Amino acid sequence: MRDKLQTLLARLCFDGMAAALDAELERAEREATPASELIYRLLCAEAASQRQRSLAYRLKQARLPWDWTLETFPFDEQPSLNKGQIKTLAGLDFLSRANNIVLTGKTGTGKTGIAIGILREACLNGYRGRFYDAQDLLDELYASLADRSTARLLKRLSRLQPLVIDKVDNLNVKPEQANAFFRLIDQRYNRVSTIITTSLELTDWYELFEKKHLVDALLDRLRHRCISINIDGLSLRSPEVDASASPGEKKRSARPARQQSRRGATEGSGLGAHS
């Protein structure tokens, strides 16, 4: 009978229940467990398995380039960064208000690391977000013009919560890309949250996109309900920062990714050099 049950569970893709079946049946025999309790335990095992698979899928779809977390971010090495504010953002209330976040600062100050950490927290809490390098996003938007799939792409991108757009600075921007980027921000405006990192002042976007009327409209939407965070410090890759770190901090920042079972999914805790 157990073989038949395992075959049926495999056919139904009830992996969690199948994994727990033998142990729970043996436990039920030992403890004379009522049938209703046995079924409940098996369903709980299946529910936990489905949550695990869903989380793993969300993290994969988010396309996080590095396994960084906010827990491993070196706040002590960026004193201009308000740790309390970042921890509050990690609570994700800003998502329900459709607030945007703009992280500015010089290269290497940790903008990308903070953005990745917040996106990871969103994925862990059931949101379906995505990380994009800004140039890759612009190129994908441009490619969609060729097969006239831009509307479909924008619709998909407009549902992501949140969408991280990293390194909006030294870009090669064609007029068509600028127009598509504005359409994206416009469709997301007041509906879902966008997190942007840039080493430029927002006023420098006029030179970047070369369309004053478009940048006016873009910044108007982006700045409304916007949380602006400027990281005014040294690059985390600089020798000065490395020399000032304690041996424990250096060891922690060099530590490889590992599994954190308390999250219920594989997560990296390695730090690397946050951009």
Rounded distance, CA 218 to CA 60, Å?
A: 30
Share of the chain above pLDDT 70, in %: 86
Q: Tell me the C-alpha distance between 269 and 71, whole Å.
A: 8
- Is residue 210 very low, low, confident or very high in pLDDT (cuts 50, 70, 90)? confident
What is the structure's pLDDT at 240? 57
- Cβ atoms of 18 and 6 closer than 8 Å: yes
Nearest to 197 by CA among 227, 174, 224, 176: 227
Predicted pLDDT of residue 266: 37
pLDDT tens-digit series, residues 97-129: 999 999 999 999 999 999 999 999 999 999 999
DSSP type of residue 260: B
Q: Tell me the per-residue pLDDT of 117-170, one tens digit each, with 9 for 90 and over.
A: 999 999 999 999 999 999 999 999 999 999 999 999 999 999 999 999 999 998
**Per-residue pLDDT reduced to its tens digit, 67-91:** 889 999 999 999 999 999 999 999 9
Question: What's the mean pLDDT in 14-27?
Answer: 92
pLDDT for the residue numbered 211: 84
Structure tokens at 79: 């004193």
Mean pLDDT across the chain: 86
For residue 54, what pLDDT is reported? Answer: 87
pLDDT category of residue 2 using cuts at 50, 70 and 90: confident
In the chain, what are the domain boundaries?
2-60, 62-263
Q: Is 16 helix (H, G, I), strand (E, B) or coil?
A: helix
Q: What is the CATH number of domain 62-263?
A: 3.40.50.300
Length of the chain equals 275
Q: Pick from 227, 274, 271: which is nearest to 72 by CA?
A: 271
pLDDT value for 239: 62
